[in-house]
Structures are given as structure tokens and as C-alpha cells.
Homo-oligomer: A and B are copies of this chain.
């Protein structure tokens, strides 16, 4: 079928362009000399424009129509390929070029404005750029929403296709009810501890730990960047970054977190290579994979023995129990990215409620700082001393990314749910984790989650892998021991 081949060729091309964008982005943050920034902006702009043109071309509509006429002859994989291609094409076509251009500009301006405003703790300086991004996000959400979806649901579907606001309200209000009392108990039972680990020992431990998980020079890179991230540049080319500072052991957690993202992409069925189905399915599933390795492996008492041994090999001696306590200590705090595993989702609930209100028109940008303080007081019991440590701490809204934050909390919940499903099948992981044996975990995730790529959306994948709809109970059971439960 000629049209199907044309469609597959286009998908392969878009997959290659995506990989090159990922490479150029990785290089910008890890390797590029600073003065290359302006050329790189041009290059990334050109790649994005080309990818947009090639993914919205009218010829795609013709191919899809021709394929429709012969749809009965498609095998299961091609049916999924065509289904997702149509969905992506129709969504992209609903966005007028001018809106896409204006959004891109507002997002670039917003990030710049945010950076300056945060540095000078000056929300008023950021407010106009944020207002513009809210306005354009509302317009965009209205464009892509369909079948009675709200404009917020339109935005959500860019990151997690099919998620419903009502479902988020249900889950997040349950978290808002259950977590604060647990946090209060946990901060007494397991208060945070600091551990001054020299950077050299952290580097040795990160390298040694990742090596145990299969990270080899033949198909991985491990580098340093300002903010940890993962790039999947190709089959057999996974790149994670971390960062080091003497004052903490964040590198141990963040390297396992990024490993989880990378492993997901590596274990997608190779039959989906260079198709539109060959990547992770959604932000929340991606985040579930990173959180699974961060929360359920790196933060487990058993794996603390491995981490302590690797630190020891790097010349720093610490008892495993002490290291574990450092990695899980609970204290309600101001900053999302350094939050403990128990209170972390509450930071997301704050953001979800506020961004939903901004998009629905119930919260004016000017009122955001006060609303943020109020929410932090209510959910985390902390007083916000400045907007820099408050509503200016994250880049997302300035970069126009509304509907992105929920995936961080959903990732925590899904990770816990998958972990329970896996242990129900394989038995408790404790003994094996103590010896650093993770191959059965890798295999189970590959089989039940990773291999599907984009063939299953978030909700369907969670049900398929765990046999149950999304629930908060597994996460509550995961954090209960931190609160002495």
C-alpha cells in the first residue's frame, strides 16, 4: 500500500528530526561553548519549523484518507501507527500558524523574563510575560480541545493524552487530604539529615551504581549539566546528566531518576523504531519510570547498602542506614525540586490548582503570589518568604507549559502502583536490591510498560500493567513507613 509506505517514511523522517533536535538540545546544555547560543537558537528554530511543516502537510491527510479506504488490510501495529498519526496530525492542524508562532515567541520571552525576575525576586516584572503566556495557552487549549473537553484538558493532552480534569481533581484532592498529616508525623519520625559527601566520592558512586544497572560506554553517556536531564539520541545512544555539589547527595537520586527515563526509551519494542510509536507515551508514564528508580530503588533501605558500598569504593564511608535516612528524611519545605518523597506531590497539587484557576479565568496573574502563599500554608504549612522561593521557582509557566506539572505527581503515584504490581508478581525485591540485582525489574518493566511505546495511552497502560485503574493507595503505602507506619 503506497500511502502507508509514504506515511511510514514520513514518520521515520520525523523521528530522525526529533532525535537531531534532542542531540542539538543536549549539546547546547552539555558541550556547546557559550558564544554558540545565538547560532544554536537559529538551528533549533529551523529544525522545529521543518518538523512542524512536515508533520502538518496536507499530503498527510491524503495518505490517511487512502489508508482509510483499505483499513481492513492493516495489521495491528499499522492500525496503531495510523490511529496515532491521524490524532497527531488533526491536533496539529487545528493550531493556526500565527498562534504557533506567537506562542513560540511568548515562550522564549517568558523564559527570559522569568530568569531576570527570579534573580531579582520581582514578580511584577514577570507578570506581563506570564499574562501573555496564560492568554495564548487559553487560546491554544481551546484550539486543540475536542469532544467537550475543556481548554485545560486541551493543554493537558499535549503531555498526557486523554487525561481528564475531573480525574486529576479526584486524585489530587485525596492527596491534599491524606498527605499533610503524614508529613507532620514523618518530619518527627524521620527528620532530614545532611551528609557532606565529597564530589569525587559521589562521582565514583554514581559511575559504579550506574555500571551495576547496565550503563556501559558502548551505548550510554553520563555527563554533567546545570539541571539533570536525559536525551535519547538513538537506539543504543542514551545520555543522562547529573550535577554534583559537596553539600548533598542529590547526584545519587538524580542519576537513578534520569536512568529511569533512559531505560524506558531503550526498552521500547524495536519494531517501533523510527515510527511515531517508538517513544514514551506520556509525561506521567515517563515520570513514573524515573520516580520508580528514584523512590523505590535509590530510596529503599536495601539499595542503600549498594549505594553505601559504592561511596565506600569512592573513599567515603557511611553506614547504609545513615545514608538511607539522608535520602528519605521528611520536612515540608519551599522548593519542589529538592522536596522529600512524601511532600513532593503536595508541591504539584499547589501548582495544579493554581494553573487550572488561571486557565479557567478564576485567578488573575496579579493575584498569583498571594494565592501561592495561601496554598503553601494550607498544604505544606510553610510561610513563603519571597516569590523567588515561591511562585517564581519553576520555569514552566514562563515557558508556556500549562498542564505539565500534574505529570510529576502522577508519576509518583503510578510508580508506586507499578512497583506493587511487580512485587505481587515477582515477590519482594528487597533481597535482590540489597545485592544490587535489578535485571528482573528491568525485564518486568520492559514487558509490562516500556515495550508498548505510544501504542497505549497513560490510563490504558496503567490498567494493563497493574490490572487496576490509577489509585493513590499504593503511594500512601509507600510513604507510610516514613511516617512510622
Chain A interface residues toward B at CB < 8 A = 12-13, 16-17, 19-20, 23-24, 27, 31-40, 42-43, 45-47, 49-50, 217-221, 233-238, 274
Contact = CB atoms under 8 A, between A and B. Distances in A.
Nearest to A18: B43
Contacts of A17: 46, 50
For the residues of A in contact with B, the DSSP-based class is: helix
A278 B403 CA distance: 40
A35 B219 contact: yes
A42 B221 contact: no
A27 to B, nearest CB: 6
B34 A218 contact: yes
Contact of A23 (B24, B33, B274): B24
A39 B23 contact: no
Contacts of A237: 32-33, 35-36, 39-40
A38 B218 CA distance: 13
Nearest to A41: B234
Contacts of A236: 33-39
A108 to B, nearest CB: 12
Contacts of A219: 33-36
A217 to B, nearest CB: 6
Nearest to A38: B235
A274 B42 contact: yes
B46 A13 contact: yes
A38 B43 CA distance: 23
A18 to B, nearest CB: 10
Given A13-B50, A23-B27, 17 more contacts: A19-B39, A20-B43, A20-B46, A20-B47, A23-B24, A23-B43, A32-B233, A33-B236, A33-B238, A34-B219, A35-B218, A35-B236, A36-B233, A36-B234, A38-B235, A39-B236, A42-B274
A31 B33 contact: no
**By CB atoms of chain B within 10 A, which of A36, A46, A233, A236 has the most?**
A36
Contacts of A233: 32, 36, 39-40
A226 to B, nearest CB: 15
A24 B20 contact: yes
A14 to B, nearest CB: 9
Contact of A43 (B16, B32, B42): B16
Nearest to A34: B218
